[in-house]
Amino acid sequence: MPKIEIFKEFKPTEDAYWRSIILYGNNTASYKFALGMALLDLIENEQNIVSLKDLSPIFAKYICEHLNVAPRQTTNNSSTFLEACKKYNENIITTERLIDITEKNAFNYVLDKFPIVNGRIIPKPFYEYDKRNKQIILTDNSFKLKGIKYFNDLRKETEARWKLVETAWELGISTNLLQVNYSKDNYSLYIDTSFRRKNITSVRDALNGYQKGFCFYCFDNITIDCDSEKLCDIDHFFPHALQAQRPDINFDGVWNLVLTCQDCNRGNNGKFAKLPALKYLERLHTRNEYLISSHHPLRETLMLQTGSTEKERIKFLQEIYNFAKMNLVSEWSIEEKREKGF
């Protein structure tokens, strides 16, 4: 009798293994990303045996570039290699010295750890590390990557993930709050910053900087001090209830979150799941644009969520607003406690 199959075996392809490393491999420093970028360079140039000496300039280049934009590249305190990169950026040491220090110090852990995901070496590693001869040998799996249709996207995805980790480190929040998802539509990763509802509180600090201690709607005083009675609520501007109808929109995204007083959010005339009036939509747009134009750490995230140009972002908000209005019908507003708050 033939066996009836209920479940089908799923065999991940090379790019799936790559993504699992980039997304779920350990990172206490950004070495993983620099190695990922360097490997993509080697794959592109079809180099298969590469000495650590030759790998060093490629690897160090990526770290130096990132250090220029994001000074925090590790959760640890010190690293001989990172210090050398900083000195190189400040013209204190030469390229030769940097490469020398890189070769001796940068690869101690990263080459062993790169292929490990959830405590295990992935079934199809991308290189073998020949410690005795101080070289790596790229495997066939690496070159199979080059054959996939979306090979060039891997570079963008690795960069995107790296930036995301930098953002999380800079804000002092968990990378889990800045989720990267896989889009089946275009086979790429995207950042959606699902500040999950249970962890949403860590976004308070970031948003209060803009709101300066005032409620988003009524400008009453609020605080982010968890022990205070005046502790602010985190409000979904467009009610979270819309999520079920629009799974394509991330209503938990920071673009849609504002800090409010408890009264506005859930008092007698509270907003609850109502749609804020149009003037508040302008206020939300102004807030998002400010964070983007001031190069706030959430800039990239906001742009990925709502559009890369202001025109696109206006269109995005208008579209969601129209959709919300159609579904929720009436608008909510409240008397302001002072003329202007922020």
Q: Is 215 one of the binding residues for Zn ion (CB under 5 A)? A: yes
Amino acid, res. 13 = T
Q: Is 258 one of the binding residues for Zn ion (CB under 5 A)? A: no
Options 220, 233, 235, 252; binder of Zn ion; rule CB under 5 A: 220
Distances in Å between the alpha carbon of 298 and those of 171, 210, 250, 290, 293? 9, 12, 15, 11, 11
Structure token pair of residue 77? 């305190």
Strands 331-332 and 275-276: parallel
Q: Minimum distance between the CB of residue 18 and Zn ion, rounded to whole angstroms?
A: 47
Show Cβ contacts of residue 210 under 8 Å, excluding neighbours closer than 6 positions: 287, 290, 291, 342
Stretch that binds Zn ion, among 78-86, 100-108, 264-272, 305-313 (CB under 5 A): 264-272
> Of the two residues 102 and 211, which places its CB atom closer to Zn ion in the complex?
211
What separation, in Å, do the N-terminal and C-terminal C-alpha atoms of the chain show?
A: 74
Strands 257-260 and 233-236: antiparallel
Stretch that binds Zn ion, among 120-128, 241-249, 262-270, 275-283 (CB under 5 A): 262-270
Q: What gap in Å lies between CA 106 and CA 79, rounded to an integer?
A: 9
Stretch that binds Zn ion, among 5-13, 99-107, 194-202, 260-268 (CB under 5 A): 260-268
> Of the two residues 98 and 264, which places its CB atom closer to Zn ion in the complex?
264
Options 218, 258, 281, 304; binder of Zn ion; rule CB under 5 A: 218
Q: Minimum distance between the CB of residue 111 and Zn ion, rounded to whole angstroms?
A: 54
Distances in Å between the alpha carbon of 289 and those of 51, 53, 230, 283? 47, 45, 27, 10
> Of the two residues 139 and 208, which places its CB atom closer to Zn ion in the complex?
208
Stretch that binds Zn ion, among 149-157, 173-181, 190-198, 216-224 (CB under 5 A): 216-224
Under DSSP, the state recorded for 173 is -
Q: Is 264 one of the binding residues for Zn ion (CB under 5 A)? A: yes
> Of the two residues 128 and 282, which places its CB atom closer to Zn ion in the complex?
282
Q: Minimum distance between the CB of residue 264 and Zn ion, rounded to whole angstroms?
A: 3
> Of the two residues 261 and 304, which places its CB atom closer to Zn ion in the complex?
261
Q: Is 259 one of the binding residues for Zn ion (CB under 5 A)? A: no
Q: DSSP string covering 118-142, please?
A: TTEE-SS-SEEEETTTTEEEE-HHH
Binding residues for Zn ion, rule: CB under 5 A, are 215, 217-218, 220, 261, 264
